Structure 1
Amino acid sequence: MGGIGKTALAVEAAHRACATGWFPGGTLFVDLRGYDDDPVTADQAVLALLDAMGVRGVDLPSTAARQYDAYRALLAERQAQMLLILDNASDPSQFLDLLPGTDHHRVLITSRDRPDTLPVRLINLATLVPDESVALIARALHDADEHDDRPEHEPDAVSELASLCDHLPLALQIAAAMLRRRRHRDIASLVAEIKKLGDTLVVLDNGSKGTDQYGRSLALRPVLETSYRRLPPDQARLLRLLALAPGAETGTEAVAALADLDMAAAMDLLENLAAACLVTGVRMRGDVQWRLHDLVRAFGAGVVAGDAELRKEGQAARKRLLGFYLRWTAAANDRLRWLPGRPEPERFADRAQALTWLDGERAGLVAAAQWAAEERYTPKAAQLAACLAEYLRWRRHVDEGITVARAAREGTHRIGDRMGEAEAWTNLGRAQREAGQAEEAIDSHTHARDLYQAAGNHRLEAMAWNNLGVALQAAGRLEEAIPAYNRARGLCQAAGDHLREAMALGNLGNALLFEGRGEEAVHTHIRVRDLFQAAGDRFREGMAWHNLGIILQQTGQVAEAIKAYDAARELRRQFGDWYGAGQTLHNLALVHEAIQRPAEARAYYLQAAEAFTRANAPTEAAEAQSAAQTLT
């Protein structure tokens, strides 16, 4: 069950086994966070395991398959027996690929779900025996205050408290925390309060089979109920509302918006809830994120669900939070897209500030955008999804881009918002193309084009044709892509939209190169660069310089290609476009390698690896590191 003490038992067992000498090769530990909103995948975990075994940097294989091969080879080579602890797994896919492939080493996996289909030994953990429960409470109190002797003076009361907690470690720890806060009252007073409620003992057992989505069982609720009922009204209200927040962690500012409080008041209440062990503060990126244990979250959500007035309160809170997220995500998105001459966006002075805020709030933003599935939240949640699209592409969070776009598409279709639906189809298509799903992207952009055509919006129809051309080209359907680009270009010219005309021209130039029309492609990309320069769009100018460099390189104009790449590199760095900078640096390395300048090529590969790392692109970073290593 959740809260049964699986991790504590696994770690204690590992310490004792190592002390006994069972595992002279040592122990490896990975928290798979299987029940978080963003579980660790096997591909991510193998990187951590390789790092722990000294494989990192240029030694790290460039693909996941080779990383697993290296991992298993290292384990196979080690003569000293090792113990691998894979903690908090929610699905076999998280750990199957991490098994050593040899019976020489040992593996211990903790999970709330039974892997019944796998031939593994299962150890089901029961609650603690009564004496151990009493000892846990006594130790928790004594560790906090060595003079706290209430357990010795009230043996019957502490035994009854342990029984009321059903001997579940998490419930016992919460009860001990309550006793620490009320250190001037006896244990019997807490026992009396729990018994006075007259509730059935409930704990939450988080399992995927044979239980509801909250996995309710019989131990935690009396303690949580007592903790909740004893809270002052303002703290109790905040706990309920925090249980409705979309992400696993919520920033202080977002909590304040959720509860309609100023920052100082929200912080005071959160700190009081943290002292009551009902929330945990975690410092992330310079801010404090507030986390509810999943069992506490389920309790709070259950309180709200059981009362009509509290449900209304919760719906109003979610609308406030959506409004907060939408306002600042829109401002951050405006900053990412800002051009000279346009109004200055709110709050964010530069792209770095906008990206920092988006990074810190990302989990909550992505989860809130999925509220588009509920009609009362659809309009704002769909707008939020649209505002997130550019950022998620910048940071290469492609799967999340697909998720939020789908939620927006379904919600806007249901409420009859055809323009919103077209925008959602557009963002879905772009994310699908980034994910390598070219045929799906063609379908999405076709839907967007048809909706814009029906609405008579030729400007957005032009962009739909352009996006469709990119997807067609990615699918290898060049003969269909070129007419799509030309259609987009024609619509833009008719509307006098030179910026979007440049976007279509850039894609057309790439297609011309694939057709072997190199000189036309060069002239087209020079025109694209000039259009972006004239519009003051320095970000897209950097992209245009990069594409021009590719064309020049492939047409044998090496010196000119290097100059173009240098211009692209500087612009992309200025804008914090680290993935684009990594691409440009990688191409610079290829050019210098081709003209027999290995030292310069190696330096560019290393710079590319650094840029890709900053862009959350570990595969590309590893490939650049590997290329640099070959030139050492």
Structure 2
Amino acid sequence: MAELLAAGPSGVAGAVARAMERSAPGSGASWYGGDHTDFRGGVFLREVVGVQVVVQEGGTAVPEAMTGLPPRPGGFTGRDRETEDLLRALDPDGAQSAAAPVASVSGLGGIGKTALAVETAHLARERGWFPGGILFIDLHGYDREPVTADRSLRTLLHALGIPPEHMPTTTDERAALYRSTLAVRAGERGGMLVLADNASSAEQVRPLLPGDFRHRVLVTSRDRLPQLGARLLPLDELGTREAYELLDRALRIADPHDGRVGDDPGTTGRLASLCGHLPLALQIAAALLAADPGKPVRELVAELAEAHDRLDQLDDGERSVRAAFELSYRRLPPEQARLLRLLALAPGPEVSDEVVAALVSADRPPVRDQHALARAHLVERGRTRGWWRLHDLVRVFGAGVVARAEGDAARARVLRHYLERARAADARLKPRTEDDEGTGPFRSREEALAWFDAERAGLVAAVQWATDRQLAADAVRLAGALGEYLDWRRRFDDSVTVCGAVCAAARRAGDEAAEAAAWNRTGTALRGNRRLREAYDAHRRAHDLYDALGHDNGRAMALSNLGAILGDVGQVDDAVDAFRLALGLFRRTGDRHSEAGVWNNLALILRKSGRVDEALDALRSALGLYRETGDRPREGRARHNYAVALNARGRTAEAVTACLDSLDICEEFEDWHGAARTLYALGLVHETAGDAERARVRMTQAADAYERAGSPKEAEQARRAARLTGPAPTGTPAPGAPPDRTADSGPPGPRPPGVPGNAGP
């Protein structure tokens, strides 16, 4: 030992090598390497693990930590795949670990990194992988005073048998002695595993890396630490099944007869969701339940769901999710901390780079700060590049630390950004003349639809900010810019949500015109979801509000929509009367485009009631008005209805031509649902003409188009019809078309209870 210390940093390795050649007399034991006693050949009465007593010069006994591992985590579950990945990374004989002798487990605070690392280290020891022993050190990387390299080296050297009085004085000297001692250990007994828990930076870990390839290092951190050249193993939240198992196992450890989790699996799934599938939160929830054996799971779920701040509830007195996140948050530089706070306010489950830029009031997203938060696992990458998301509980934490003024300003900026972009995209979806091409941010209809598709969840969530009086005006305007898109993509649930927010805001503001328009749109969306009773009531409320305001155009729209519902439930005469009233009002106001829509809807009712020639006349009026107003997409839908009416009249050749014209328009405007309906109609036309093979082909194509449009039930109906299509005896009815939600919906359904027979005012 004296020789080692005297050698200095540059001569330590040589001194160790010389010391290894020495031996001392004695029976069954020898000095080996200067600081270890060789017990090879000795007889032991039981397994020896944990501590070896090293006798140094002068006779002082120093404990040496063969394994300082914490106990195995109780109730560890749900990490089978991750455990296997980590074992492969540590396997001394594996090619993966040889290429990267350092493995780094990273993840959000409370995600279970230490539990995984400790469990895997125990499994590795059971396999006999590290005969030299296992060293464990908690670096407290996120505490106010993280463990320095100097302190960590002193701790590990002491665990390896170096007494305090022989400890080198500088960090470099300690690092050299640490590496040399590990080299000796590798030669004597084999490789060691060094488990460095809770590191916050590569600088904390780098001095602990052995120089000998036979050793392995396992690091846990809330940051990814790519600078170490390590095998990186990011840890995500648990899946639903794994979260369920963790809760059940934790409760049964406390009481083997506690079956609350198994007794109510649905509520347990809700509990796991409220805990964000975060192991720490789940363990706290289990502890809260274990402390109150009579408490049903649903009661804890209600407490979490109704809490103003969910993190207040996820605290069992010793562990706290908020405290875990606070450790990470307070280490962030100011700009990163601000970004995290503002990201917590973002609408929708994911946020795009362009919305991030709006949140922070910048022309470009703060890319470096975003990536830094991602490395710290406080932000996660979204479904594609340029998109980001926050864990549910991190979002709750971030929203809890943002100042009200800061948050209000950020949400206002997002609304303004969304409104500007949505209006530009909406303009691309609506009919335009050749002289009105525009020069906005979207060069084509396809680009506008793609932007709407990508941002849809955030847009719908932002409209719900209409509950805030300061944001209500822009939120309502944004809702208006979404109407055409949501209708085109048949997002009826989203439409109901958007219109509900607008109705509430308009009622609160006393704006009856805006409320009437919102009720009208609500009814259309409800009809799309076949909620006919609710749809009728919504349109009736819109009609009454418009009537009180003397708003003829609004009354006409409501009457047309009431007529469509009355037709759905078989009240043909009342439906026709409502459409005739609407036509008169639209002619009075000069709204030619809306008049075309009424002619189209009237034609559907007339055809279904057997008045085919009248239906064809109505459709010719609709087609002429759509061409006049330049609405090609709706012209395509009207051509589909025209083809169906022609086929009903026995004019199959003209029906085929009308179908093909409609199909061209649908494909031009990516109306895949319209294309599916038209392909199906084309199949029926071919079947009427006796061409069963072409009918089957078209119906099969219709099924594929329905799948593309996100309508699996209608796709299956089309496939079933294709299988049934074939030569049939005269008078056998053709298979019915899949139900359509915006046009011809097949045979009339039951009348909603309480629907009056007169649609007029």
If the length of structure 1 is used for normalisation, what is the TM-score? 0.69
Residue number among 3, 7, 12 corresponding to 2:80 in the alignment = 12
* Closer, same or farther: CA 597–312 of 1 in aligned 2, 3 Å: same
Q: Name the CA distance, whole Å, in 2 between partners of 1:353 and 1:233.
A: 37
* Closer, same or farther: CA 628–238 of 1 in aligned 2, 3 Å: same
2:344 maps to 1:243: yes
2:391 maps to 1:293: yes
Q: Is the 8 A contact 2:142 2:200 kept in 1?
A: no
371-380 vs 248-257, greater mean Cα deviation: 371-380
Q: Is the 8 A contact 2:379 2:390 kept in 1?
A: yes
* Closer, same or farther: CA 209–181 of 1 in aligned 2, 3 Å: farther
2:353 maps to 1:252: yes
Residue number among 435, 441, 450 corresponding to 1:347 in the alignment = 441
334-343 vs 178-187, greater mean Cα deviation: 178-187
Q: Is the 8 A contact 1:552 1:560 kept in 2?
A: yes
SS of alignment partner, residue 347 of structure 1:
coil
User: Hey, what does 2:137 align to over in structure 1?
Assistant: 155
User: Hey, what does 1:279 align to over in structure 2?
Assistant: 379
Q: Name the CA distance, whole Å, in 2 between partners of 1:602 and 1:7.
A: 57
Q: Is the 8 A contact 1:422 1:448 kept in 2?
A: yes
* Closer, same or farther: CA 155–538 of 1 in aligned 2, 3 Å: closer
User: Hey, what does 2:421 align to over in structure 1?
Assistant: 328
- Partner deviation per Cα, 1:401-440 (whole Å, 9 max, x = no partner): 2112112111211111222212211111110000001121
User: Hey, what does 1:576 align to over in structure 2?
Assistant: 670
Q: Name the CA distance, whole Å, in 2 between partners of 1:345 and 1:440.
A: 41
Higher relative contact order (CA 8 A, sep 6+): 1
2:472 maps to 1:378: yes
SS of alignment partner, residue 382 of structure 2:
strand
Any residues of structure 2 matched to 1:596-615 within 5 Å, and which? 596-615=690-709
SS of alignment partner, residue 436 of structure 1:
coil
Q: Name the CA distance, whole Å, in 2 between partners of 1:355 and 1:210.
A: 41
Residue number among 383, 408, 413 corresponding to 1:315 in the alignment = 408
User: Hey, what does 2:368 align to over in structure 1?
Assistant: 268
Q: Name the CA distance, whole Å, in 1 between partners of 2:473 and 2:75.
A: 42
Any residues of structure 2 matched to 1:222-621 within 5 Å, and which? 222-263=323-364, 265-284=365-384, 287-304=385-402, 310-340=403-433, 341-342=435-436, 344=438, 346-621=440-715
User: Hey, what does 1:135 align to over in structure 2?
Assistant: 118
Where in structure 1 are there 5+ consecutive unaligned residues? 17-125, 140-150, 165-172, 192-201, 305-309
- Partner deviation per Cα, 1:112-170 (whole Å, 9 max, x = no partner): xxxxxxxxxxxxxx998x9847627989xxxxxxxxxxx97763656998xx9xxxxxx
* Closer, same or farther: CA 575–132 of 1 in aligned 2, 3 Å: closer
Deviation at 1:392, TM superposition (A): 2.0
Any residues of structure 2 matched to 1:201-212 within 5 Å, and which? 204=281, 208-211=301-304, 212=307
- Partner deviation per Cα, 1:535-587 (whole Å, 9 max, x = no partner): 22211211111111111111222222111111111111111111111101111
Q: Name the CA distance, whole Å, in 2 between partners of 1:259 and 1:131.
A: 34
- Once superposed, what is the RMSD of the aligned Cα atoms? 3.6
User: Hey, what does 1:221 align to over in structure 2?
Assistant: 322
Letter in 2 for 1:475: V
Q: Is the 8 A contact 1:174 1:223 kept in 2?
A: no
- Partner deviation per Cα, 1:478-530 (whole Å, 9 max, x = no partner): 22221211111111112222222111111122222233222111111112111
Q: Name the CA distance, whole Å, in 2 between partners of 1:288 and 1:155.
A: 37
Letter in 1 for 2:375: A
> Which entry has the higher C-alpha Rg, 1 or 2?
2
Q: Name the CA distance, whole Å, in 2 between partners of 1:558 and 1:429.
A: 36
SS of alignment partner, residue 442 of structure 2:
coil
Q: Name the CA distance, whole Å, in 2 between partners of 1:338 and 1:181.
A: 61
Q: Is the 8 A contact 2:137 2:196 kept in 1?
A: no
- Partner deviation per Cα, 1:170-191 (whole Å, 9 max, x = no partner): xxx998473448646999xx99
Q: Name the CA distance, whole Å, in 2 between partners of 1:174 and 1:422.
A: 64
2:744 maps to 1:626: no
* Closer, same or farther: CA 497–360 of 1 in aligned 2, 3 Å: same
* Closer, same or farther: CA 276–517 of 1 in aligned 2, 3 Å: same
Q: Is the 8 A contact 1:589 1:600 kept in 2?
A: yes
* Closer, same or farther: CA 368–556 of 1 in aligned 2, 3 Å: same
Percent of paired sites with the same residue: 38
* Closer, same or farther: CA 242–631 of 1 in aligned 2, 3 Å: same
Q: Name the CA distance, whole Å, in 2 between partners of 1:273 and 1:15.
A: 26
Deviation at 1:292, TM superposition (A): 0.6
- Partner deviation per Cα, 1:175-228 (whole Å, 9 max, x = no partner): 8473448646999xx99xxxxxxxxxx964576233336252234333421221
User: Hey, what does 1:33 align to over in structure 2?
Assistant: none
* Closer, same or farther: CA 236–621 of 1 in aligned 2, 3 Å: same
* Closer, same or farther: CA 182–273 of 1 in aligned 2, 3 Å: farther
Letter in 2 for 1:335: R
Letter in 2 for 1:266: P
Q: Is the 8 A contact 1:396 1:615 kept in 2?
A: no
Letter in 1 for 2:678: T
Q: Is the 8 A contact 1:412 1:420 kept in 2?
A: yes
* Closer, same or farther: CA 449–182 of 1 in aligned 2, 3 Å: farther
Q: Name the CA distance, whole Å, in 1 between partners of 2:111 and 2:380.
A: 24
Q: Name the CA distance, whole Å, in 2 between partners of 1:517 and 1:356.
A: 41
User: Hey, what does 2:730 align to over in structure 1?
Assistant: none
Q: Is the 8 A contact 1:242 1:255 kept in 2?
A: yes
Deviation at 1:239, TM superposition (A): 0.3
Q: Is the 8 A contact 1:203 1:216 kept in 2?
A: no
Q: Name the CA distance, whole Å, in 1 between partners of 2:582 and 2:377.
A: 58
Q: Is the 8 A contact 2:137 2:197 kept in 1?
A: no
* Closer, same or farther: CA 473–127 of 1 in aligned 2, 3 Å: closer
Q: Name the CA distance, whole Å, in 2 between partners of 1:174 and 1:529.
A: 74
If the length of structure 2 is used for normalisation, what is the TM-score? 0.58
Letter in 1 for 2:354: E
Letter in 1 for 2:80: E
User: Hey, what does 1:178 align to over in structure 2?
Assistant: 200
